[in-house]
A and B are shown apart, each in its own frame.
Chain A
C-alpha cells in the first residue's frame, strides 16, 4: 500500500513566518480570524496530491470532527487487537494516531498558535519523541491530546472542543478520517476474504486477493515542479490495471484544474477583501 502520511509532518522546521496574529482595522474579529485562516491554508500549501482509490462501495459518510477525533484517539496495539483489525493493517492505523499526535504537538510548540505551551519545548527530550523520532512506538510516548472518551475534567472537554475548532488541526483530521475510513473498509474486506479462503492464508496472498478499498495510485505535484508518482504493489496484479491507471491520469489532470479553481477563488476573495486600492500594494493592516 502507498504511504500516505501527511506531507505536513515533515515540515517541523518550516513553520510559516508571516502569519503572526495581526489585526486589520475595520474588520470584525470573526472576519479577521477567518481571513487569517484562509491565508494560513495558502501558506501551508506545498504540493497537490491526487489519490485514486478503488472502493467496494461509496459511502456517503459525513465528516464530523468530534466523531473522527473520538475514533482515532483510542488507537493503540491493544485497541486494534480488541477491534479485530487485521494484523497487516495495524501499523497503518498506528501511523494515523501518531500523525494526529504530531499535529497537536506542533500546535503546542508553535508560539503563534493559541495552544502554545512553553513547557513543551523545555520538557525532557523523551517527552517530545513524536517531534524528533520518526520511528517512535506509540506506547513509548506519552499522549498530550485531550481525552474525548474518558475526560478527567470539564477543561479537557473544552480543550478538545477548542482543538476541533483549529483550522489546521481540522484539515489534518479530515485527511486522517478519510484514510481511516478506507482502512476500515479494507479491514472488513480482508477479514471476509480470510474466512472464505481455506486454511492459513499469508497476508500478502490475502492482500492480493482483496482488490478494493485501497489507494492504488498517488501523484504528488510539488510547487517546485517536481512530480512524484507512487503506485501500490497490488496495482500490477489488478485485472483492470490499464483502466485504473488511465482513470488516475485523468483524475490528476482534472484535479489540477479543480484545485486551481478553488484556489483562485480563495485568493481573489482574500485579496479583494483586504485590498486598499487597485494600484496600491496590499495593505499591512
Chain B
C-alpha cells in the first residue's frame, strides 16, 4: 500500500458508515432444484470507479458494509455445501469491467485448514500499477468479508431487556393509569422508575442465561442448515439473518 494514487478527499460524515458495494458483490449460486441452491463462490465485479472507491476506503480505514443477507449466505457458504459437506474451500473471483467487456483477473481459494491459493491472470502483470491496485482491492474485499463472518452477539441484550421491561410495566400499569392520574400525577414517575429497575434486573438475568439461549438458537440454526429439507434450511437462514448483526 506504499503507492499513493489516492488524493485526499474531504471526509463526509456518512463515511463513518461502511462502504456499500452490495450491487458489485455477487454470490455465485446455482439452482439445483426448487428452493435449493449450490453456492460456488463469491464474485466481485469491479470497474474503474469502484476500484477508486475501494482504494479510498483502504486509505481511510473505512470498512466494507455487508448486508445481513450477504453475511448469512457467506456464513452458510463458509460452513456447508450441498449434501452436508464441510465446505472445503471458499472461492473469491474478481472481474474487471473495461470498455464494455469484463474479464476475470484474480481468483483466491481459502480453506479452513490453512491452504490458500491466489491466482492472477498473467497479462494483468504487464500493467504494474493497475495490477497492484486490483490485487490489493481483491485481497481487501476478501479480508473485509472474512473479518465480519464472526458472530458477535447473537442477543441484543439492551434492546431485549428494555423491550421486555416496557412490556411488563405497561401491562401492569395501564389498568391503574386513570386512578393514578386522578390521585397525583407525580405518581406516574413510579412506572418509569419501575421500568428502569426492571430493565436492569432483566439485563442481568438475560446475560446469565444468554449462553444457554445462544447455544439453543445456534443449535437450531445449524440443525436447520444440516437438514436436507429446503424449508428448514431457509428458516434457519432467516433466523440467523435476523439474530446476528
A→B interface (CB under 8 Å): 26-28, 30-31, 34-35, 37-38, 41, 44-58, 60, 62-63, 65, 165, 167, 170-171, 173-175, 178, 211-212, 240, 243-244, 246-248, 250-251, 254-255, 257-266, 268-269, 272-278
Contact = CB atoms under 8 A, between A and B. Distances in A.
Interface in B131-187: 131-132, 135-136, 139-140, 142-143, 145-151, 154
Given A60-B93, A173-B88, A269-B218, 4 more contacts: A58-B107, A259-B146, A264-B149, A272-B214
A244 B150 contact: no
Contact of B132 (A60, A62, A212, A243): A243
B149 A261 contact: yes
Q: Which 9 A-B pairs have the closest CB atoms?
A: A261-B146, A254-B139, A58-B104, A174-B88, A265-B149, A240-B125, A30-B226, A261-B147, A251-B118
A51 B40 contact: no
Contacts of A30: 84, 223, 226-227
B219 A50 contact: no
A180 to B, nearest CB: 13
A240 B121 CA distance: 13
A58 B105 CA distance: 7
A175 B109 CA distance: 10
Contact of A259 (B91, B110, B132): B110
A262 B139 CA distance: 14
B204 interface: no
A247 B226 contact: no
A275 B90 CA distance: 27
Contact of B113 (A41, A53, A58): A41
B93 A167 contact: no
10 contacts: A37-B86, A51-B115, A58-B119, A167-B85, A243-B125, A261-B147, A261-B149, A262-B110, A265-B78, A268-B151
A276 B219 CA distance: 13
Contact of A55 (B120, B135, B136, B218): B120
Contacts of A276: 211
Contact of B86 (A41, A50, A278): A41
B112 interface: yes
Interface residues of B, number: 67
B143 to A, nearest CB: 5
Nearest to A240: B125
A275 B215 contact: yes
A265 B88 contact: no
Contacts of B17: none
A160 to B, nearest CB: 14
B85 A240 contact: no
Interface of B: 28, 30, 40-41, 75, 78-79, 83-86, 88-91, 93, 103-122, 125-126, 128, 131-132, 135-136, 139-140, 142-143, 145-151, 154, 208, 210-212, 214-215, 218-219, 222-223, 226-227
A65 B88 CA distance: 10
B117 A265 contact: no
Contacts of B93: 58, 60
A25 to B, nearest CB: 12
Given A251-B139, A272-B214, A41 B118 contact: no
A58 B115 contact: no
Contacts of A262: 78, 90, 110, 112, 146, 149
A167 B110 contact: no
Contacts of A60: 28, 40-41, 93, 104
A155 to B, nearest CB: 20
Contacts of B108: 251, 258
A62 B125 contact: no
B115 A34 contact: no
Contacts of B28: 60
Contact of B88 (A28, A63, A273): A63
Give the one of A27, A38, A44, A54 with max B CB within 10 A: A54
A56 B122 contact: yes
B206 to A, nearest CB: 12
Contact of A41 (B91, B112, B120): B112
A264 B113 CA distance: 12
Contacts of A28: 223, 226
B70 to A, nearest CB: 15
Contacts of B135: 247, 250-251
Contacts of A277: 211-212
A34 B226 contact: yes
